[in-house]
Chain A
Amino acid sequence: MKKIAVCYKWVLNDADIRINENTRALDMEKCKPQVNEYDRNGLETGVKLKEASGGAELVGITCGLNTESSTKDALSRGPDAVYYLDDAILESSDSATTSKVLAGMIRSLGDVDVVICSEGSSDQYAQQVGPRIAALLQYPSVSYVSAVSLDGDTLTLDRKLEDGAETVTVKAPVVISVSPDVCEAPIPSVKQILSAKKKPAAALTLAGIGLSADAVKPLAAINSVKAPQTSRKAINLSEGGASLDEAVGKLVKQLSTDGLL
């Protein structure tokens, strides 16, 4: 096995999203970018697979807007090198165009035996990029992977599905999409952070991977994103000093009225 590529997305930290109470619009001003949390599991899966391979090169791959600033963070999580494509045209990239660009980057690197994606990103969670890359590269695709082991160029993969569990054996080259429980993503140490700057980070361009600007125009456009509104009835069961029995009676009556009992 020569090369393992882990795809990661540089996303805004959704923990800092503010919601405009009047319009329900999302305010991202305070959100800082970070490596998508699900992809951290993918990167750690790559680290373990590299160890098991006995010497494969592990690379991180990303595309989008401002992805150049992601490289040190990604490199501190294990890859030997990172390849990024930083282009403003990809700001509103959808799953189809992201997959097209990532597949182009992987093709241009050559000799990639295993492509690792996570199940989704914290911002869109479309769960499409892994299978789409596989289709574009004409590699087999194995999704919902919860455990990975390697023997030569054969991977044994556990899949957790809604209606059961599967164990799949597949020969490289392959694209796998891992679920968060595939492994724990460790917190990088200070040593890993400080040594990240000594590792290579290389910029790729759309032209360099053989794609035109027209080819990466998103097929779907998101017109607006709004936070859901949750309305509550705010009924106070103990209002007026009601006893426990009275409150329970009131609750039962209300649930019956609502058709829930």
Chain B
Amino acid sequence: MSFLTEDQQLIQNMVREFAEKEVAPIAAEIDKTHTFPTKTAKRMGELGLLGLTVPEEYEGNPCDNVAYSVAVEELSRVCGTHGVIISAHISLGISPILKFGTDAQKKKYLPDLASGRKLSAFCLTEAGAGTDAASQQSVAELKGDKYVINGSKVFITNGAVADTFIYFAMTDKSKGLKGISAFIVEKGFPGFAVGQVEDKLGICASSTTEIILKDCQVPKENLLGGEGQGFKIAMQTLDGGRIGIASQAVGLAQGALEAAITYAKQRVQFGKPISANQGIQWMLADMATRTEAARQLTRHAALAKDTKDRYSLEAAMAKVFAAEAAMWVTTKAVQVHGGIGYTRSYPVERFMRDAKITEIYEGTSEVQRMVISGNILA
């Protein structure tokens, strides 16, 4: 059952049409060749998808977070890479500027990002600082009217294709988490470099890279939210990001479920479609149920973001459930296909590879359980 408003349904229809007509035909090829989909990323900008939730004054399209979640789901239903491009750009790149930026920062950066003329990325994870964000080795030192930043980040989504980066660095190591600050860094700043490009299991066409800052000079006015505010900015940004990733997971599960249903009705063994076998029927029933449960939890979290100041609990629940549902459903979809499902002849193996990362990035499933238990035990 759909509880979507008319606007949300129209956006869903529109994204589905775009995904089926323009993304689905290239999804397997860009996955195989690990090629970033420049053309369709540009089209997402033209269609206004890269400015979802952003006010009109910044060239955005001020829809709610449920509509945004639906859009990420629809893209991921045919291609996980497109889902994460938009999720990283909006939830992680645009959102912190929108929430914590000054008027000048918003006016300078948001129009280019919301219109899709430029892409954004979020630089928190370091080789020695994944879940343990306080172990940041990146350091920012104020010298005159500029911060000089040294450090490197890993696993940065949109790394090689973004122009604007939210970069976290220590401005006062002695303060631990309260010594972390956030900066808006442009790829053209002196000392900025893209490092190693990762060769991944899934979401192969998305750009995942190392970002290296060596004596990178960042104007003082590009400090986001004030010194020491970085950890708070990161955590609140990730709450929103988790809704994006949960939506990606729902889309992957839905895509795999539909593929499995189609295949089960077509594949004939022992003189009848395999969908006539109870073993397959029950598998499909459980896949559909988990997918729908993940969808409702995710849209509930998106609604919480639209209506509440804090929504960490809802976002963590949606993310852990949807990610694990996606992994389970996509694996079962390969099982329904049998041997052919293990090959690239059908999209289910790609959905399965893409699903794995949803249990890991923007907080592992274990971290989500920490957030949930911390909330309910507080």
A interface residues with partner B (beta carbon < 8 Å): 34, 69, 72-73, 76, 187-191, 193-194, 196-197
A190 touching B52 by the CB < 8 A rule?
yes
C-alpha spacing A190/B86, complex, angstroms: 14
B20 → chain A, closest Cβ, in Å? 10
C-alpha spacing A248/B231, complex, angstroms: 73
C-alpha spacing A73/B7, complex, angstroms: 9
B18 touching A190 by the CB < 8 A rule?
no
CB contact between B61 and one of A187, A190, A196 (< 8 Å): that residue: A190
B7 touching A187 by the CB < 8 A rule?
no
Query: Other than the known A69-B6, A190-B14, A190-B51, what 8 A-B pairs have Cβ atoms closer than 8 Å?
Result: A73-B13, A187-B21, A190-B47, A191-B61, A193-B7, A193-B11, A196-B10, A197-B7
Interface members, chain B 36-69 (any A CB < 8 Å): 46-49, 51-52, 61-63
> What is the chain A residue whose CB lies nearest that of B8?
A193
CB contact between A194 and one of B13, B46, B49, B61 (< 8 Å): that residue: B61
Contacts of A193 in B (CB 8 A): 7, 10-11, 14
Number of residue pairs spanning A and B whose beta carbons lie under 8 angstroms apart:
41
B18 touching A73 by the CB < 8 A rule?
no
A190 touching B13 by the CB < 8 A rule?
no
C-alpha spacing A12/B6, complex, angstroms: 17
C-alpha spacing A72/B63, complex, angstroms: 15
A sample of 20 inter-chain contacts (CB < 8 A) reads A34-B13, A69-B6, A72-B7, A72-B10, A73-B13, A76-B10, A187-B14, A187-B17, A187-B18, A188-B10, A188-B14, A189-B47, A190-B14, A190-B48, A190-B52, A190-B61, A191-B48, A193-B7, A193-B11, A197-B7
Contacts of A194 in B (CB 8 A): 7, 61-63
Contacts of A72 in B (CB 8 A): 6-7, 10
Contacts of B6 in A (CB 8 A): 69, 72
B interface residues with partner A (beta carbon < 8 Å): 6-7, 10-11, 13-14, 17-18, 21, 46-49, 51-52, 61-63
Contacts of A73 in B (CB 8 A): 10, 13
> What is the chain A residue whose CB lies nearest that of B62?
A194
Contacts of A190 in B (CB 8 A): 11, 14, 47-49, 51-52, 61, 63
B130 → chain A, closest Cβ, in Å? 34
C-alpha spacing A76/B7, complex, angstroms: 11
C-alpha spacing A60/B324, complex, angstroms: 46
> What is the chain B residue whose CB lies nearest that of A76?
B10
The 5 A-B pairs with the shortest beta carbon distances in the complex, nearest first, are: A190-B48, A190-B61, A189-B48, A193-B10, A189-B47
B3 → chain A, closest Cβ, in Å? 15
C-alpha spacing A189/B45, complex, angstroms: 9
Contacts of B52 in A (CB 8 A): 190
Max chain B C-beta neighbours (<10 A), residue from A72, A73, A193, A194: A193
A72 → chain B, closest Cβ, in Å? 6
Contacts of B21 in A (CB 8 A): 187
> What is the chain B residue whose CB lies nearest that of A73?
B10
B63 touching A189 by the CB < 8 A rule?
no
C-alpha spacing A194/B48, complex, angstroms: 11
C-alpha spacing A122/B21, complex, angstroms: 19
Max chain B C-beta neighbours (<10 A), residue from A34, A73, A194: A194
Contacts of B13 in A (CB 8 A): 34, 73
C-alpha spacing A187/B48, complex, angstroms: 11
> What is the chain B residue whose CB lies nearest that of A193?
B10
Contacts of A76 in B (CB 8 A): 10, 14
A34 → chain B, closest Cβ, in Å? 7
Max chain B C-beta neighbours (<10 A), residue from A34, A69, A187: A187
A70 → chain B, closest Cβ, in Å? 11
